[in-house]
Chain A
Amino acid sequence: MRRRFLLAFVALLAVLPLLPVPEFWITQANYIGLYTLVALGLVLLTGVAGLTSFGQAAFVGLGAYSAAYLTLTHGVSPWLTVWIGLAFTFGAALLLGWVTLRMSGHFLPLATIAWGLSLYYLLGNLDFLGKYDGLLGVPALSFFGMPLNTGRSFFWLLWVIVVLAALAVIALLDSRTGRAMRAVKGGTTMAEAMGVDTFRIKVTAFVLAALLASVSGWLFAHFQRTVNPSPFGLKMGIEYLFMAVVGGVGHVWGALVGAGVVKIMEDQLQHWLPLLMGTSGNYEIIVFGVLLILVLQYARDGIWAFVEARFPKPQRVRDWADAPALPERPKPPHGELVLDVQAARKQFGGLVAVNDVSFQVRAGEILGLIGPNGAGKSTTFNLVTGVLPVSGGQVLLRGEPIHSLPSREIARRGVSRTFQHVKMIANMTVLENVALGAHLRGRGGVGASMLRLDRAEERRLLREAERQLARIGMADRMHELAGNLALGPQRLMEIARALCADPSLLLLDEPAAGLRLKEKQALADVLRQLRGEGLSILLVEHDMDLVMGLVDRIVVMEFGTKLIEGTPEEVQASPAVRAAYLGTEH
């Protein structure tokens, strides 16, 4: 259904210039195409990666001025200037992203505001770029000797690029890198635990968005045939974001719809409002501003969300059944020391959350970590997985110290985990969420995904994801959106995601919370089976029936300190444990 619509749309684009459409509408369509390219980048940046930029117009300007200046004064071929413009843009975006993206997400947009203003005033004051008058007489593009000097001839080149860019972005989102990009939106802890270098992914998203804007600028220069600073100012930067938000910032085709709606609306408003006010001026920004606020208040997913609701995405075709299995890391021999926590300590100011706790986990063993609420169990988890740095002590994984490594490096060494509060990507399917766990087992990058060269690897990753889902009994729900699952199945999905990483140590934070009895029994069976395969498991759980029947040894924590360590029987018999849970008689 969707594919048929897409084909019909492409066919319409192909014949449109041949039809007796007035020149005005061809020009209009060309502008919409130019804007769509920029808005597409914002979908990637804002809708997918959860960042934003008000400086996209400046990147358009960088592309446009590179093209205009180099062709006019140095006679460089436009087919070369596009790459030079992209190189400039790459450098500028890399610098901005590198400087700001280590900090909270709102410093990037602030920096892009300043960048947009700076570039605008710079372009307007440099003599060799013609100051505020800009550069005139940019030559038209020519395509194998055919000049693209009319709106209609330019239309084809532009829209081929727009459609290819949209398809490339769609392909990117449906890939290993795309999943990682979506994972950074809600926060970085989960993505890092899956081995994603979140800083790098964010910079990548920002640079890609800037490059799309730069291509739009190159096309703009050769379409308009003149460049001056005004279309590259901050006002336009904000309008690009407006387009993406109105169209639907989470949807690739929302960029197209948003660009179309905003361009047509802008034209009408620029015609009518000055008549209404009696003088000329940018009165349309009042309407844009108010509309932007209303869209965010009442329809945050934009126009495309309504289309999406009527024509839901088709189910993924299951084409990975015969894909070769992913290689697995050799499991440590049964009984070998896997995790060695030596006097680990964590202080938050004056509060000692974990007080010199030591314990060991061996290969093929399940260690239970129990204790009343606030005993420091989850903090201990965070110390082992590198979410928090230790204040003192050591954590060794198979003899190698890991306590000063970032989460993703610990994940690379074979530690995988689930979270006490489920962390997932609600608008991705269960299968895709689980496949995120296999991030470190693939290597397909941005370029490969956009060109769909990663499909063989992608099939292997999805096959592994399905295998792990089947293991915990959820294969029949793999096409559902993760956000639609109840809490219990969401926890199981997290376990499948952790298993997808092929860990040698698995950390489960309250995996049975929210599960029904049958599901708990099934979970226990799976964990026993994993233990049989030589996996080590560290388990935090409050369901004592499950813990006592499953684990080999137990560590009891209270107020940040280790109370006792022993077999389930020893722990159950201990008066100290009873006192910790039930209080003592005085």
Chain B
Amino acid sequence: MDFSIASILMLDGITNGAIYALLALATVLVFAVTRVIFIPQGEFVAYGALTLALLQLGQVPGTVWLLLAMALLAGALDAVAGLRRGLPAGAVALGAARSLAVPVAVTAITVWAAPLKLPLMLQSLLTLAIVTPLGPLVYRLAYEKLADATVLVLLIVSVGTHFALTGLGLVFFGAEGFRNPSFWDERFTLGPVTLAGQALIIFMVSLALIIGLFLFFERTLRGKALRATAVNRLGARLMGISTSGAGQLSFGLAAFIGALSGLLIGPTTTIFYDSGFLIGLKGFIGAIFGALASYPAAALGAVFVGLIEAFGSFWASAFKEVIVFTLILPVLLWRSFQAGHHDEEE
């Protein structure tokens, strides 16, 4: 290997690592706020990339119908619960209308806009509008009832959700893969390295999102409420913070980050209905670097995973996944000694 190959691999690794970092951040966020280990994070990546792919073809993506169905189901469950508690029918209807408004509007816009083959940017925004609301709905339907269960039970729910979302992905998008058009086709030559415009976009969007998240958590009341929930659920509740609302918000952020990652990665690799899982898990291994608790460690870990993957695929391409996923063992070993130390300090 010479310097030019190394730098190409490095660039490749950091590009993918940036996306894994976004997913790792989402994983840490969801775990901190809800104690859910969100295995299906990667499904939103695939949903994002493939929803855009179908919009490109001028078709109405199935994710829209999933959004509508889940919103109707959640609305019905809320209505039943409201009536059981003896709320007046008017209030129940209003609540249902409010929670259905966005999904219905998104569905209507998509059905109208899909055949028009709008510009790529508008289709991307529409994709985000379709996939992001799926997050809170997944929380509402799969997790909320079990919010006080053990981490273990929530993890098993996550695996169930992963199964359901992957299977639905097959229904919506079929078994074939798609590769989306680049957002920016420009190429820059820096010595031995050619920098693709798409890679630049990935860096810039990742950085912007990380800064945005930082500002959200540091500067806004809702962000602080999320952090409060992460520290102490009961305490947050007593301060009037809705833990269910915090859960939905964190899942909404996770879905948004997932869909955005899907849009970013879509032009660099072919995405199949089940590709998201492996992508999400790589973000996950990054998150484990930070013991699912530290945002900076998770992001750095994810970039490291991207680098290992890039170099692994050069040296032993068949064993790329084996190398990446076996990496978890030394990381866990390292963390377990860290954890032992930590206990003694307390």
A283 to B149, CA, bound (A): 29
Chain B residues in 8 Å Cβ range of A115:
325
* Nearest-CB residue, chain A, relative to B167: A286
B219 at the interface (CB under 8 A from A): no
B165 at the interface (CB under 8 A from A): yes
Which of A51, A114, A241, A283 touches B281 (beta carbons < 8 Å)? A114
Q: Contact flags (1/0) for B162-181 with A, using CB distance below 8 Å?
A: 11111110110011000000
Q: Distance in Å from the Cβ of A561 to the closest Cβ of chain B?
A: 21
Q: Is the CB of A103 within 8 A of B339?
A: yes
Chain A residues in 8 Å Cβ range of B321:
117-118, 121
A52 to B322, CA, bound (A): 22
Q: Is the CB of B281 within 8 A of A113?
A: yes
A102 to B161, CA, bound (A): 28
A229 to B165, CA, bound (A): 24
Interface size class of A (residues with CB under 8 A): 35 or more
Which of B37, B160, B335 touches A296 (beta carbons < 8 Å)? B160
Residues facing A in B194-230 (CB within 8 A) are none
B121 at the interface (CB under 8 A from A): no
- With A102-B340, A106-B151, A389-B344 already in contact, the answer to whether A289 and B170 are too (CB < 8 A) is no
Chain B residues in 8 Å Cβ range of A285:
163-164, 166-167
Identify the B interface with A (CB < 8 A): 37, 39, 141-142, 145-146, 149-153, 155-157, 159-168, 170-171, 174-175, 278, 281, 284-285, 288, 291, 318-319, 321-322, 325-326, 328-329, 332-333, 335-336, 339-340, 344, 346
Chain A residues in 8 Å Cβ range of B326:
114, 118
Q: Is the CB of A106 within 8 A of B281?
A: no
A122 to B141, CA, bound (A): 37
A559 at the interface (CB under 8 A from B): no
Q: Distance in Å from the Cβ of A148 to the closest Cβ of chain B?
A: 35
Q: Is the CB of A125 within 8 A of B322?
A: yes
Residues facing B in A39-54 (CB within 8 A) are 46, 50-52, 54
Chain A residues in 8 Å Cβ range of B168:
286
Residues facing B in A115-162 (CB within 8 A) are 115, 117-118, 121-122, 125
Q: Is the CB of B159 within 8 A of A292?
A: yes
A300 at the interface (CB under 8 A from B): yes
Q: Is the CB of A122 within 8 A of B332?
A: no
Which of A99, A105, A291 touches B332 (beta carbons < 8 Å)? A99
A296 to B152, CA, bound (A): 11
Q: Is the CB of A110 within 8 A of B284?
A: yes
Q: Is the CB of A105 within 8 A of B152?
A: yes
Number of A-B contacts (CB under 8 A): 138
A359 at the interface (CB under 8 A from B): no
- With A118-B322, A297-B145 already in contact, the answer to whether A290 and B164 are too (CB < 8 A) is yes
Which of B150, B166, B328 touches A110 (beta carbons < 8 Å)? B328
The 20 listed contacts between A and B (C-beta, < 8 Å) are A103-B336, A105-B152, A118-B325, A125-B319, A238-B162, A241-B159, A283-B171, A286-B164, A286-B168, A289-B160, A289-B164, A289-B167, A292-B156, A292-B159, A293-B142, A296-B146, A296-B149, A296-B157, A348-B346, A389-B344
Chain A residues in 8 Å Cβ range of B281:
113-114, 117
Q: Is the CB of B288 within 8 A of A300?
A: no
A83 at the interface (CB under 8 A from B): no
A52 to B329, CA, bound (A): 17
Which of B145, B171, B174, B328 touches A286 (beta carbons < 8 Å)? B171
* Nearest-CB residue, chain A, relative to B39: A113
Chain A residues in 8 Å Cβ range of B165:
289
Q: Distance in Å from the Cβ of A573 to the closest Cβ of chain B?
A: 39
Residues facing B in A76-104 (CB within 8 A) are 95-96, 99-100, 102-104
A323 at the interface (CB under 8 A from B): no
Q: Is the CB of B329 within 8 A of A245?
A: no
A99 to B167, CA, bound (A): 33
Residues facing B in A264-289 (CB within 8 A) are 277, 279, 281-289
Chain A residues in 8 Å Cβ range of B318:
125
Chain A residues in 8 Å Cβ range of B288:
107, 110
Q: Is the CB of B336 within 8 A of A99?
A: yes
Chain A residues in 8 Å Cβ range of B329:
95-96, 99, 111, 114
